[in-house]
Structure 1
Amino acid sequence: MSQHFELTHGFLPSSSPLKQLPLAFQAWENVAANLPKYLLSTNFRKTIESLPPFPEEQLSAAEEERAMLILSFIGHAYVWGCMPVANTIPANLAKPWCAVAERLQRPPILSYASYALHNWYKIDENGPIALGNIALLQNFLGGIDEEWFVLVHIDIEEKASKALQALVPLQQAVQAHDSKAVLTYLKQLAISITSICDTLDRMPEHCDPYMYYNRVRPYIHGWKNNPSLPNGMIYESCYDNKPQSLRGETGAQSSIIPALDAVFGIKHKQDQLREYLLEMRQYMPFEHRAFLNTLENQPDIRSYVLQQTNDNKDIQQYYNQCIDAIVRFRTTHLKYAALYIQKQHQHESANSNSVGTGGTPFMAYLSKHEQETATFKV
């Protein structure tokens, strides 16, 4: 695990994301800042194709995530913002996008890391990272529904920080047979996981299902298992101009639930859906992938909990509270998948309601994992 990786704010960056790149990138920043307006332009793609070179070689390490964010948003706007859908990304966009992605060890596509984790700022710098005090740095069309949809995820990531901070110490306490510490960390986890469920419950407050499906969702699709791009995407002057098939942005690229599954011993049966979730790790920041590997290389705590005698029933009780909270999260997510996607009867291939933005049959995935999680109570 990277020695620089901190869990101060969970999987959010430890300090607020960079708001703007230096002057050399100003033309690209201008397009990103005005993306909702450019998407109404009949010459949007020509505007992108005529942009000056993106000098990615000048980027400092601290600027790479900002560069990835604006290149990814502009890239997806280029592909999905006009009809017909583009199957080739021009070289002036493709080359820096691929170069920055390689430096960040992620694929050149909009992922959860750029869409949510590095896409916020605090309205009051002295206030918390929380709904009511955060806003997005970048939108596609803008508007309250798009803003709220992403902000809910950012609030969840912040609220998960207390849970994530407890995971490694909990594993260490189990190995040391320190039942008092185990109980303390389980209580901390139960409170934190419940709080992320409370935030998820707030999604309908400002994100309307119709608006999500028709105004938010279309821009975050990928080019793998997508009938609108059956042959994938050509990144001009990259990959020998061979088409690439990459997954779209999805909450399955968040590392929170995989981290909890690893520590609590929640295992999903081998099938295509489990393989899909493992594939999603390629789209996570490499520090987050390393953290998941660290957790998974230790024994899960479930066997320890099962061994507790009647004297330590509190440990089993709080373990079960954590499992119940994870089930609650997955149940709510399943409900939203039905409400925000399945029930929206639009038949465009690019916005099919049978496949998620990551290019997978989402209802089967969510339902299966909800049911499997519930079986791990002790």
Structure 2
Amino acid sequence: MNLSRRFSILASSLPISSFIPSAPPSIAPISQTLLPHIDLVNSIKSSPADIIHQIKRLPQFDSSTIYHDNHQVELATLLHAMIVSAYYWHSDPPLPRIPSNIAIPFCDLNKHLSRAPVLTIISTQFYNWKLKDESKPFHPNNIEALFTFSGTEDEVQFYHCATYIEYLGNSIINAIPSLYNGALAKNEIEVKNSLKIFAKTLKEAKKALGLVYQKVDPNVFYFGFRKYLKSFDGGVIYEGVSDTPQKLMGPTAAQSPLMRLVDTIFDLNSNNEFLLRIPMYMQKEHRDLVAFAERNRPNNLREAAISLNASDEWNSAIGELCNFRSAHSKLAYNYIIKPSQGGESKGTGGSSLEAFLSALIENTKKLMISK
């Protein structure tokens, strides 16, 4: 079976449209036991004084009853993840011991999903939306969030401008077999056309990133809901599961499956220590797709582009990736470093913002073909 066929079978087997669920996520739980959890998550925005006691009184959910329904599993995971973050960040310093009635089902759910037990972009973005108008396409202007910490439209748009970028990645997924096969078969037209798709998509992604400035107030982000998205750098203990503290990253753009896929295709940042931790925070299907792209990547793809007179197309794609990363770096400055007046240097993933993002940009620039 040729590469295109194998890649197409893998991609078509994913329960996603690009990296987004092909159908809107579940809103209503099939288990009545989750109704108190929904009520509690909806109350977080009002900052009830007794929320810690409310969390401790929640019924313990039996996650095994919904393992047959992935959308229900993701709904339960989203609810428990938000409750864990609300509990942990209720006070300063944080409350690191998560009570067993929440800790046990949350860890069970994530074990079933094969990922880290913490809030990730899978929950905040991929399984936290519905269309305002089902007759209109997927776009930030047509998306509502199922749940937020703050109840603000800023939080909704913060999640879903990023979600839209992942949605745009479908064209890149579809172009990978042509790029790989073209390089192996020394097909100049196929390689050039594939690289043009990469450049066009990354340019659209940068434009979508700019929507954040239109839709999200930096102060609402930084002083409002950002604290719930921060890493558990001090460690978290899940009672009834383990007494060993776990240091876990919060939802971060570094978890983007599209960016992990693009880096893999261009053989970028494979030795970055922070990014090496990312797969355990990704959806298994996304992780498998990235791993497949890595296993089947032709050797010396850059040299193949040179030999096939595709240097201009290669540089255009790499240039757009640099532009996207530079725009992301500026966004991080305006939404974290600037409102904190320089007092905050870490992203929600726990990395040093300026050093991490600058390194990504510089590594990407090195792939440009000199003439």
The TM-score with structure 2 as length reference comes to 0.90
The TM-score with structure 1 as length reference comes to 0.89
After superposition, residues 211-250 of structure 1 pair within 5 angstroms as 211-224=220-233, 229=234, 232-239=235-242, 241-250=243-252
C-alpha distance in 2 between matches for 1:269 and 1:293: 12
After superposition, residues 55-94 of structure 1 pair within 5 angstroms as 55-59=62-66, 60-62=68-70, 63-94=72-103
C-alpha distance in 1 between matches for 2:337 and 2:11: 42
Residue 29 of structure 2 corresponds to: 21
Q: Give the superposition deviation at 1:291.
A: 1.2
SS of residue matched to 1:233: strand
The answer for unaligned runs of 5 or more in structure 1 is: none
Aligned residues: 356
C-alpha distance in 2 between matches for 1:53 and 1:345: 38
SS of residue matched to 1:125: coil
Residue 269 of structure 2 corresponds to: 268
SS of residue matched to 1:296: helix
C-alpha distance in 2 between matches for 1:10 and 1:193: 14
After superposition, residues 1-378 of structure 1 pair within 5 angstroms as 5-6=13-14, 9-22=17-30, 23-37=32-46, 40-59=47-66, 60-62=68-70, 63-224=72-233, 229=234, 232-239=235-242, 241-265=243-267, 267-268=268-269, 270=271, 274-297=272-295, 298-299=297-298, 301-308=301-308, 312=309, 315-345=310-340, 353-378=344-369
Letter in 1 for 2:298: P
SS of residue matched to 1:234: strand
C-alpha distance in 1 between matches for 2:341 and 2:79: 29
Q: Give the superposition deviation at 1:173.
A: 2.5
Work out whether residues 9 and 157 of structure 1, in 8 Å CA contact, stay in contact via their aligned partners in 2.
Answer: no
Work out whether residues 269 and 360 of structure 2, in 8 Å CA contact, stay in contact via their aligned partners in 1.
Answer: yes
C-alpha distance in 2 between matches for 1:316 and 1:7: 35
Work out whether residues 104 and 286 of structure 1, in 8 Å CA contact, stay in contact via their aligned partners in 2.
Answer: yes
Q: Give the superposition deviation at 1:5.
A: 3.9
Letter in 1 for 2:121: Y
C-alpha distance in 1 between matches for 2:92 and 2:263: 41
Letter in 2 for 1:281: P
The answer for unaligned runs of 5 or more in structure 2 is: 1-6
Q: Give the superposition deviation at 1:190.
A: 1.8
Letter in 2 for 1:291: L
Deviations 1:104-134 (A, max 9, x none): 0011100111111211111111221112111
